[in-house]
Amino acid sequence: MGRIARTLFGLCLGWLASGVLGLLGRFQHSPAASGVQRRTFVRNAALGAVGSALAITGAGFGALLWPNKTGAFGSVLTVPPDQVPPVNGEAYRNVAGKFFLVHSDAGLLALYNKCPHLGCSVPWVGPPENANAFQCPCHGSMYNYVGERTGGPAPRPMDYMAVSIDEGGNVLVDTGNISTRSAYDPGQAVQYA
Ligand code: FES
């Protein structure tokens, strides 16, 4: 379901509106009584133009009104146990959720990949460069494994998302619950057995 479905929905709305307007035009001028007159032709042409404009507008509204896809940024996303990094292991990246899951000695942190400086996406630079740091490509802010700023113009550590663990060992990351912090504290991490 995506852009194509939304566009079709909008086009259907516009087509319906165009049809209704066309019928109204016919009722106002009966061809049986006066033939197809110039005025009628011009009016129907105008109605057609309006219908086309409504089709385009309808497509836009359809795109706006169509429910957003679920299971992505803003919702609670699940990281299965086999994807959870080992302690100090390679950061796990969730593209749709815009976070990295890291596993320090203190526990798990889901780091929001949006740079606190001006909002660029911050990648984790592991192998083969082996920087083992988050490095913002825009203005050079750098962050360590738990998101502490180690250089650059960023005003604070990387933001982090609420994390909980279910009974099956799945990590639930609430991408709609994002916290800022002025400094890293081990209490921000969630223990993971
Ligand atoms: S946006 Fe990341 S350093 Fe400026």
Domains of the chain, by residue range, sit at: 3-65, 76-188
DSSP state of 114: B
Q: Which atom of ligand 1 is nearest to the CA of 137?
A: 2
Q: Is the CB of 158 under 6 A from ligand 1?
A: no
To test ligand 1's pocket by mutation, which of 121, 135, 136 has the most ligand atoms within 8 angstroms of CB?
136
CATH number of 76-188: 2.102.10.10
Q: Do the beta carbons of residue 91 and residue 101 sit within 8 Å?
A: yes
Cα maximum dimension of the chain? 88
Q: Is the CB of 155 under 6 A from ligand 1?
A: no
Round the CA-based radius of gyration of the chain to a whole number and report it.
28
Q: Is the CB of 153 under 6 A from ligand 1?
A: yes
Distance 97 CA to ligand 1 centre (A): 20
Return the pLDDT at 51. 57
pLDDT (tens, 9 = 90+) of the chain, 193 residues, equals 445 555 455 554 555 555 555 555 555 555 555 555 667 656 766 666 655 555 555 555 445 455 555 569 999 999 999 999 999 999 999 999 999 999 999 999 999 999 999 999 999 998 777 778 999 999 999 999 999 999 999 999 999 999 999 999 999 999 999 999 999 999 999 999 8
Interatomic CA distance for residues 152 and 116, integer angstroms? 11
Return the pLDDT at 12. 47
Return the pLDDT at 129. 76
Q: Beta 133-135 vs 76-79: how paired, if at all?
A: unpaired
Distance 54 CA to ligand 1 centre (A): 42
Is the C-alpha dihedral spanning 101, 105, 107, 109 positive or negative? negative
Q: Is the CB of 103 under 6 A from ligand 1?
A: no
Return the pLDDT at 141. 97
Distance 123 CA to ligand 1 centre (A): 12
Residue of the CA atom closest to atom 1 of ligand 1: 118
Q: Is the CB of 136 under 6 A from ligand 1?
A: yes
